[in-house]
Amino acid sequence: MTPITHIDDLRRLARKRVPRMFYDYADSGSWTESTYRANEADFQAIKFRQRVAINMEGRSTRTTMVGQEVAMPVALAPTGLTGMQHADGEILAARAARKFGVPFTLSTMSICSIEDVAEQAGAGFWFQLYVMRDRAFIERLIARAKAAGCTALVLTLDLQILGQRHKDIKNGLSTPPRPTLANLLDIATKPRWALGMLATRRRQFGNIVGHVSGVEDMGSLSEWTASQFDPTLDWDAVRWIRRLWDGKLILKGILDPEDARLALEVGADALIVSNHGGRQLDGAESSIRALPAIVDAVRDRIEVHLDGGVRSGQDLLRARALGARGCYIGRPFLYGLGALGEAGVTRCLEILHKELDVTMALCGQTRIDRVGRDILLPGSYPGSP
């Protein structure tokens, strides 16, 4: 096998090994995908200041995110259907993250349940929550996260209704895939994936099936999820969840400085500057362009994190320089998972860490906690004079 040296190597291998509907689910955006593309392109427009003749020994990328020590300013983002990129995907990704020393965030819409991940990968991971109309179910879900030892709750605010994702519609996305001729032919060309799925019992949404009355199979599950995402979600609901959850609370989906100030008022510990990876409001600002104004609006009164468009360790450093305490990676670790399972997630993290460390050194920095906007070329980044 050709050496895997950057994230795109993992992406290409995942594309060969994961059925099209699940690869496309991870590697696509909504409508025209303009925001999806901008998330990456706007990172690349930001240039570094190269510095020389500086002692580069003793470098450290270690820092904290919501008080938790991390090997680098990274968390694995909550991604739905992770267990369809590779059998038992959430468990494998959580194990890789734990060993590397970064947080793993489990999605409400995961294939492996909260209890599966806690039992097979250990406690201490983070849990992402979608607000449903069935508030009793939400109360039970939060209680399950507490019982499993989750140390932070990531509340997603930007999915009250689903953005139109053309590829998912055209592929007939379902979990597990429907046995149509097209799907069967596609799966036949992905033997590693198929054998893994045959060997596991985890092929449904593990946090929902068996935990909601009347949801016992794919048909009833699809109907339930379509009706349950709550369009009435507002800041009062966020306050209600804050009262239920006494641990670290992180609010995901902030793109506007006014919403950042409201996140501060409800008592959140951190917010995530995010446009849902370009999968919701197409035409929204890229995450990295939105970041500086939000950092300036909250001024160290709440931790600011970021997701969307991070594809390298250099992107991690750019975001850190512009004020993000840490970044969440979704697609990069999914590429690794689809390509090589747990080993692929580990390889993804190794690549990002190497790129972060080397770039930091070539910018004349030895401590990630000392990095600021002065490492960036003026005029190349959002908010630059």
Confidence of residue 2 (pLDDT cuts 50, 70, 90): confident
Tell me: pLDDT of 284 over 80: yes
Q: Is there a binding annotation on residue 133?
A: no
Catalytic residue among 86, 276, 305, 353: 276
Domain with 18 in it: 7-375
192 annotated as ligand-binding: no
Per-residue pLDDT at 222? 60
Q: Binding residue per annotation — 328?
A: no
The residue among 105 and 176 whose pLDDT is bigger is 105
Q: Burial level of 173, CB count in 10 A (0-12/13-18/19+)?
A: middle
Q: Residue 353 catalytic?
A: no
pLDDT band at residue 179 using 50, 70 and 90 as cut-offs:
confident
Instruction: Give long-range contacts, CB 8 A cutoff, 24+ apart: 50-57.
Output: 50/362, 50/363, 51/362, 51/363, 51/364, 52/364, 54/364, 55/366, 56/361, 56/364, 56/366, 57/366
Residue with tokens 């369809």: 84
For residue range 143-158, what is the model confidence (pLDDT) as tens digits?
999 999 999 999 999 9
pLDDT digits (tens, 9 = 90+) for 29-59: 999 999 999 999 999 999 999 999 999 999 9
330 is in an annotated binding site: yes
Query: Which residues, including other chains, have CB under 8 Å from residue 110's CB and lie 6 or more apart?
Result: 80, 81, 82, 83, 90, 117, 205, 206, 207
Q: Which residue has the tokens 């360790």?
A: 313
> Which segments of 224-309 are extended strands (E)?
248-254, 270-273, 303-307
- What does the mean pLDDT of the chain come to? 95
Average pLDDT over residues 82-91: 98
Asked if the model's pLDDT at residue 292 lies above 90, the reply is yes
Q: What is the CATH number of the domain that holds 283?
A: 3.20.20.70
Q: What is the reported pLDDT for 70? A: 98
- Give the model's pLDDT for residue 55: 96
CA distance 252 to 77: 10
- What is the mean predicted confidence (pLDDT) over 331-359? 98
Assigned domain for 383 exists: no
Query: Does the annotation place 222 within a ligand binding site?
Result: no
Residue 252 assigned as binding residue: yes
- pLDDT over 90 percentage in the chain: 89
Q: Is residue 1 part of a domain?
A: no
- Residue 218 confidence (pLDDT): 60
The answer as to whether 384 is a domain residue is no
Does residue 382 sit within a domain? no
* pLDDT average, residue stretch 107-124: 97
- Phi and psi at 156, nearest 5°, equal -85, 125
Residue-level pLDDT at 223: 67
pLDDT tens digits, 192-236: 999 999 999 999 999 998 888 777 766 655 667 778 889 999 999
Dist CA 144 CA 380 (whole Å)? 46
pLDDT exceeds 80 at position 262: yes
Place of tokens 């999820």: 225
Residue with tokens 């995907």: 89
Number of DSSP helices (H) and strands (E) in the chain, helices first: 16, 10
The pLDDT score that the predictor gives to residue 191 is 96
45 domain-assigned: yes
Q: For the chain, how many structural domains are there in total?
A: 1
pLDDT for 379 beyond 70: yes
Residue 44 lies in a domain: yes
* Contact indicator for 270, 290 with CB cutoff of 8 Å: no
pLDDT, residue 210, reads: 86
Q: How many residues does the chain have?
A: 385
Annotated binding residue at 309? Answer: yes
Closest CA to 367 of 357, 376, 375: 357
Whether residue 259 is annotated as binding a ligand: the answer is no
Distance CA 218, CA 93 (A): 24
Question: Any binding-site annotation on 165?
Answer: yes
- Helix (H, G, I), strand (E, B), or coil: what is residue 132? strand
Q: For residue 325, what pLDDT band results from cuts at 50, 70 and 90? A: very high
- Would the pLDDT of 385 be above 90? no
> Which residue is it, tokens 């909550």?
78
Q: Write out the E strands in the chain.
A: 63-65, 68-70, 74-76, 105-106, 126-129, 152-156, 248-254, 270-273, 303-307, 326-329
Residues 109, 114, 115, 117: is their CA dihedral positive or negative? positive
Residues near 363 by beta carbon (within 8 Å), at least 6 away in sequence: 48, 49, 50, 51, 317, 371, 375
Other beta carbons within 10 angstroms of residue 155's beta carbon come to 25
Q: Any known ligand binding at 310?
A: yes
Cα separation, 319 vs 146, in Å, equals 31
